[in-house]
């Protein structure tokens, strides 16, 4: 994945996070209980954090590409953030909207993808 793609995908995922947050605040508040709404808000928060992280990884990649340097693991970090959003936030969105409790067992896989993404991002930031 190129730096430009990372920035664009991160920005698009950020827009989706804002839209889903607004949907939760205005469309779901009357339909979900306090606990379910909290789970939904957690999904939106982590979705947005990692959309921003993807933009940052993309900017680092663009900087490295402009300098003619290797991007040293930034693509792997980017994919981990995308996977984390899909699995962590996606499973929580679906859990709150469908009530299917088994989806909670999938969520930690997305959390692990986020952790690995941050480790890879840190490693890429230290690379020359």
Domain residue extents for the chain: 3-126
For residue 30, what pLDDT band results from cuts at 50, 70 and 90? confident
Mean pLDDT along residues 71-95: 94
**In the chain, what is the straight-line distance between the N-terminal and C-terminal CA atoms, in Å?**
19
Token pair for residue 105? 């067992």
pLDDT of residue 103 exceeding 80, the answer is yes
Mean pLDDT along residues 93-122: 96
Mean pLDDT along residues 62-69: 86
- The answer to whether the CB of 62 falls within 8 A of the CB of 86 is no
What pLDDT does 80 receive? 98
What pLDDT does 102 receive? 93
What pTM was computed for the model?
0.94
């Amino acid at each position: 994945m190129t730096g430009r793609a990372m920035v664009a995908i991160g920005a698009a995922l950020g827009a989706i996070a804002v839209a889903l947050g607004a949907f939760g605040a205005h469309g779901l508040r009357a339909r979900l209980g306090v606990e379910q709404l909290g789970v939904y808000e957690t999904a939106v928060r982590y979705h947005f954090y990692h959309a921003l992280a993807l933009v940052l990884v993309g900017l680092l990649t663009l900087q490295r590409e402009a300098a003619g340097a290797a991007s040293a693991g930034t693509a792997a970090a980017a994919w981990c953030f995308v996977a984390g959003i899909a699995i962590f936030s996606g499973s929580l969105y679906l859990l709150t909207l469908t009530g299917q409790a088994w989806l909670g067992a999938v969520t930690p896989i997305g959390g692990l993808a986020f952790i690995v993404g941050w480790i890879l991002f840190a490693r890429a930031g230290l690379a020359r």
